[in-house]
Structure 1
């Protein structure tokens, strides 16, 4: 039977035909298997390269190289397998047909690589491709066998013939599936799996070849001469083909390995570049975060300092002026305390826009230093430009703002320093602007001030005073107490003393509290100072008891900052216990504003103090913002009318009516009334007529140290017993003894006692 030029048989006829006995060279068979395995490995490797290549041109290149390796491996395996075939007749091979089989192998291999270039295929597509590739390989094999030329005729056993084609298709399917699965992965295990798969593919390819050879038979027709094979060089030729094929495939695999390493390096470089790009972005983000305020989107202190340094260099080289403005929002803490920090943040955003909208957009720099503090850097030609800018900002800040359902108006205090007039470095100019701001806030807020050398002098003196005050507290030197008598109008005797701290400074002389209390409060020394006054007053009270004044009471002032401390009651109890003084003889004076800052906490603390037996008094009553609703809740014993209501009596009818009303109100609340600042007989008689309980002032005595107190008390008590009212010493318009002008030429820093507001 003949089909497609091939002779098939089921059994040979017995008409004299001879079936030749053929064998194979085992060495060449093993060599063919080796070539098939290498070809399979190359196919898997090239498929991996195609899958990993991102460049289309590179993918095409590796697809053709893979097709060449696969075709070379299959065709060389087939050729070596044919050379391993040994028959008892002379066999020759027709070159054109042999080369045609190579082209068929190349086509089938290209089809295989083309299929593997697709990242995802269905199993159906894999089967279709495997059938095409397997048929191509089978055609290559049988075309190659058709190149045999001899006296014998070739016959094929149909079953084995079909089985060889099935094996070719199965091997092709296995190659496709293995290649698709092994294109991803790395490491030693991956390579071992790939080697194992190559052995399986090689076995499949060579199985197809020798199954086809098993289906092949040589039959010598009757009467045909038997031409014996001559000397051949099949082994040498097979080795040559194998070496050439292995070299070509090995070179391709080496190139693929080098490309893989290069691609890994490129990917590493890409990763490094990506990381560098991300680091640059992160650095820029961090720089932006480091130099900008997240809440207002203004630059922060660090960013401002960088720009400031650049501007200074520019102005130093080119000439010109700069203004540094410090802005502080007046009473901003009240917003946070009353409406919450979220509302405060919203307010800061609005105020930041107000400030930014008041300056020149390109020339001026606006920064937020933190909290409610802003700083501006302005280029200008003359000093008045800075004043005009500050006034424009202050006017803009006064525009009403809607916040949390409320309509509010904010004000700002501004301090200004100028370059080069007030300094030539960033530190100097910022420090001087801050000093000017401090002066604006001390002058009542909602104002602006330029820096002046006097401010620097004051700051230097305050810094020195801070250090010396700290030393005085630690070493218990220099601080003394003066006592001013408080006269009981009912008993006509001095029943109380107010303890007033003084500082005998080694250089500046006797300093009154207005010189150093603010410094103590600003630098965290006020608690220690108040505690010293408390302990010293209790010690002096104990000494007065030994001198015969067992019924005398002492009133001690308490700083608003110290009133917020929870351990104040424990300190009072300790001071009384150490001095051995009854708690009923101590009175604590606090201002009404200090009580109203946090009424809930104040109530708890005052009740603890009252539980000790200590009396409580409101000092400077009428100057704060307390209400009757709160007064009736406070555990008070007395209130002290501020001297500002007394100084114009009897000239001011309004002040007289206010004092009368306060006395009536206090008595209604079962509180005793003390009036301070009494300096004239008319004031004394007015208070006596209207039911005031106690008076205190220069009419009776100025504050004196403990050593001078006994004769003063005796003289006051004797005078009052004889109903003779006259001041002990003329104090109107005179300086307090031992005092000096600490800050000459600076408003508010004088040492002259005044009838309007005597030094306490």
Structure 2
């Protein structure tokens, strides 16, 4: 049977018809050489397929595909040709060069198809099958075309089964080669390389098996009488070695190029990674710089960023002889928003406020958030009025209603301004001075604007100096003194109580009244210690009074509103009384009206604890605060003290007289005693006595004085009979030597019985 010019065994003539079946063999060395070439070609194909899968450039991928096709085709063709040269038969044989070249072309086409398939990142099963069929059939065609190029006097016959088996082996080998090449494109390391070596051996075996299965299917028949002789294999060996060497050089060059490209690509990949890391580092640096210099909530620059820009702008204005204004802004009563609506609502409010401040400023102005509800604006100026107009524009913008948590609210701001070069020539000095101006705005009722002036700086320096010295005075227990002012029982005319009033004998400024240092103590956390000192000193003076025969005198001490919020107050009072060894009934605690109303529930609990000790309680400055009768009846009070502002114009003011009468009646209805302070004239005393006031206190009896100086006065008053109270004796002259004058840095003033003169806090 003939097919495509091939003769199969079914048409082979039987022996005796003049045909002789030749017995042929192969050169083992050349067979091994052919297998080596096939393995080398397989390894080169795997390596180049790996390069095709890793390069990004289209042109580079095309070049590697061409090189891979060449290596695979030349390797398979060289394996086939060397295997043919290893074929040993007792005949003269030659090869048809055009047919041999045609077989090489078929090998190149098969290699191209293989590399085209390997250029895809992933093949579907159908694509694997089609590609392996094409490659396998191409290899088989190359093999049998190369066999037909072998010319001799013999006729070639093939067994059909072995012939078909060679084609199947070629297809299976092609499929295995495709799978291995795609699977081994990714990976690195010694283990990966060893797997590639093993795969190359398997692929080489498949390629060689295809050839020798075809050779096994071959049978040569020659006519009888054909001369038989074995030719020398020296020429075949030389030609095989030459072909193998050439092919090996081509393959080695290709593999070397692949390795070199792999290293270059690895370095390029490393460079890209380094560039990517540098880019990420740049982005991280920018992000960190933004985090370091910008406020995350409002997206305004923060204090650090502001200081950096401030230094640059200040240098520019110094060189240009220009002006700068620094504005400190503080949102008034912002804490109430956090306390009532929560911090989330407070954050939303800060965002709105930041937008409004930005909307009121110019493009080149710098707006920063320093933290909390504190903002700062930096602007370049032509004149000071420009800063005033800017601040007023911001304040007006802030007053627009804000919708927050279902409510419409209006916020205000306090602003302090310092101007370069008038108020300083450094960033630190200008910021400090703007802060002082802001403090002045907040102290003057908020929602105001203040520019810095030297008086603020002097005041701040003085307060800082006083704070330091007051702290030392509390530590050393030196300089602080207690003065007392008598409180007279109007029924008996006797001194029933002494109000303890703290004084500070300053080494430079003289005797200071509480209005000069109480606020400093409250602001800097010294008020509790100062209050405790007054309490303990008053208790010790009580013990001295007992020893001197004043067993019934009561001392009243004032309590700061801040101290009234401390749970430890009751325990401290108990300790002070026990240490001094005096009964609690001899002590009375005075608290201002507004201090009581600060936290009424906690205040009631604390006052009940103090009352359980036996200490009496008095509400001071009554009528000046905002307490109600509903609250007043809940408090465990003993005494109500009417503020001097209602007494000073009596008897000229009928309205004040009616108010005092009403307070006395109300207090007595609640079973409370009444003390009126600021009594300076006999007419005032007569009026109070007529309308049932229980106690009176004021300059009519005595100015505040040290305890030792007051003892003669107390003895004199306590010797009087009730009938001697009218007309009242002008005791002001009798105790003139006990009167106290206070020298302050702002001039000379008399120590008085006003609210500022006593140890208490302003509301």
**3-state secondary structure, aligned to 1:597:** coil
CA contact 2:704–2:752 (8 Å) conserved in 1: no
- Give me the whole-angstrom Cα distance separating, in 1, the residues matched to 2:518 and 2:745: 14
Over 3 Å counting, the alpha-carbon distance change for 1:610 and 1:412 in structure 2 is same
Aligned residue pairs: how many?
754
Number of the residue aligned with 1:737:
740
Number of the residue aligned with 1:101:
103
- Give me the whole-angstrom Cα distance separating, in 1, the residues matched to 2:44 and 2:280: 39
**3-state secondary structure, aligned to 2:719:** helix
- Give me the whole-angstrom Cα distance separating, in 2, the residues matched to 1:459 and 1:182: 80
Pairs within 5 Å for 1:60-209: 60-209=62-211
CA contact 2:713–2:735 (8 Å) conserved in 1: no
The structural deviation recorded for 1:734 is: 13
- Give me the whole-angstrom Cα distance separating, in 2, the residues matched to 1:453 and 1:559: 31
The structural deviation recorded for 1:733 is: 14
Pairs within 5 Å for 1:704-719: 704-719=705-720
Which shifted more, 622-631 or 394-403? 394-403
- 1:692 and 2:701 equivalent? no
Number of the residue aligned with 1:658:
659
Which shifted more, 467-476 or 95-104? 95-104
* TM-score of the pair, normalised by structure 2: 0.93
1:487-531 Cα distance to aligned partner (Å, 9 max, x none): 223443222222211111111111111111111111111121112
- 1:725 and 2:728 equivalent? yes
CA contact 2:703–2:753 (8 Å) conserved in 1: no
The structural deviation recorded for 1:7 is: 1.6
The structural deviation recorded for 1:425 is: 0.5
Which shifted more, 152-161 or 605-614? 605-614
- Give me the whole-angstrom Cα distance separating, in 1, the residues matched to 2:644 and 2:26: 132
Number of the residue aligned with 1:394:
395
Pick from 232, 235, 259: which aligns with 2:234? 232
- Give me the whole-angstrom Cα distance separating, in 2, the residues matched to 1:490 and 1:73: 133
1:167-214 Cα distance to aligned partner (Å, 9 max, x none): 000001111112222222222322222222222111111111111111
The structural deviation recorded for 1:613 is: 2.7
CA contact 1:356–1:366 (8 Å) conserved in 2: yes
Flag structure 1 segments of 5+ consecutive residues without an equivalent: 745-749
The structural deviation recorded for 1:720 is: 6.5
CA contact 1:677–1:758 (8 Å) conserved in 2: no
CA contact 1:593–1:624 (8 Å) conserved in 2: yes
The structural deviation recorded for 1:695 is: 2.1
Number of the residue aligned with 1:415:
416
Number of the residue aligned with 2:21:
19
1:348-401 Cα distance to aligned partner (Å, 9 max, x none): 333333333333x22322222222222222222222222233333333333444
Number of the residue aligned with 2:482:
481
- Give me the whole-angstrom Cα distance separating, in 1, the residues matched to 2:164 and 2:178: 21
- Give me the whole-angstrom Cα distance separating, in 2, the residues matched to 1:17 and 1:420: 124
- Give me the whole-angstrom Cα distance separating, in 2, the residues matched to 1:236 and 1:465: 113
- Give me the whole-angstrom Cα distance separating, in 1, the residues matched to 2:317 and 2:350: 31
- Give me the whole-angstrom Cα distance separating, in 2, the residues matched to 1:643 and 1:76: 124
**3-state secondary structure, aligned to 1:590:** strand
CA contact 1:151–1:227 (8 Å) conserved in 2: no
The structural deviation recorded for 1:55 is: 1.9
Over 3 Å counting, the alpha-carbon distance change for 1:107 and 1:297 in structure 2 is same
Number of the residue aligned with 1:747:
none
CA contact 1:37–1:199 (8 Å) conserved in 2: yes
Pick from 314, 317, 336: which aligns with 1:315? 317
Which shifted more, 217-226 or 33-42? 217-226
The structural deviation recorded for 1:588 is: 2.1
CA contact 1:698–1:731 (8 Å) conserved in 2: no
Flag structure 2 segments of 5+ consecutive residues without an equivalent: 759-763
Number of the residue aligned with 2:553:
552
Number of the residue aligned with 1:532:
533
* TM-score of the pair, normalised by structure 1: 0.94
CA contact 1:732–1:755 (8 Å) conserved in 2: no
Over 3 Å counting, the alpha-carbon distance change for 1:738 and 1:679 in structure 2 is closer
Over 3 Å counting, the alpha-carbon distance change for 1:173 and 1:517 in structure 2 is same
1:627-655 Cα distance to aligned partner (Å, 9 max, x none): 22322222333232222222222222222
